[in-house]
Homo-oligomer: A and B are copies of this chain.
Amino acid sequence: MEAPHCKFETVLEILVGKWKPVVLFHLFSNGTMRFSELQKAIPDITKKMLTQQLRELEYHDIVHRKIYHQIPPKVEYSITEHGKGMSTVLQAMNDWGMSHLSHLNELYGEERSVESFEGRLDEFTKDKE
């Protein structure tokens, strides 16, 4: 059975936040991106949220922030070496996540998607046998 001996919460700490997955996705895919490029890539995010999520990732040394002292300002973000080490974990999460999605499809039918989880949950919460 292999009980995991706790502390996967550390990874959660890093990834939790509405926009962190997308931000990471873009940085992992594109390498180095400016603040404004990230904004364009994630149209619905506000500056405040983008800044916040980036700062949290920077705190965990997942993302590096390079400031060019110019006017107008230029700031580039990229995945740190330490951050790259997380990619195997993300890959593992991704792979199992995919198979989990098809498992959910088997259970609840095809008209499922990650976004519609909540709606389904309500129905489910009602007692059944």
Contacts and interface: CB of A to CB of B under 8 A. Distances in A.
Contacts of A8: 15, 21, 90, 93-94, 97
Interface in A13-36: 13-16, 21, 25, 28-29, 31
A71 interface: no
A70 to B, nearest CB: 14
Oligomeric state, in copies:
2
Contact residues on A (Cβ < 8 Å of other chain), bracket: 35 or more
A47 interface: no
Interface of A: 1-16, 21, 25, 28-29, 31, 55-56, 58-61, 67, 79, 82, 84-94, 96-101, 103-104, 107, 114, 117, 120-121, 124-125, 129
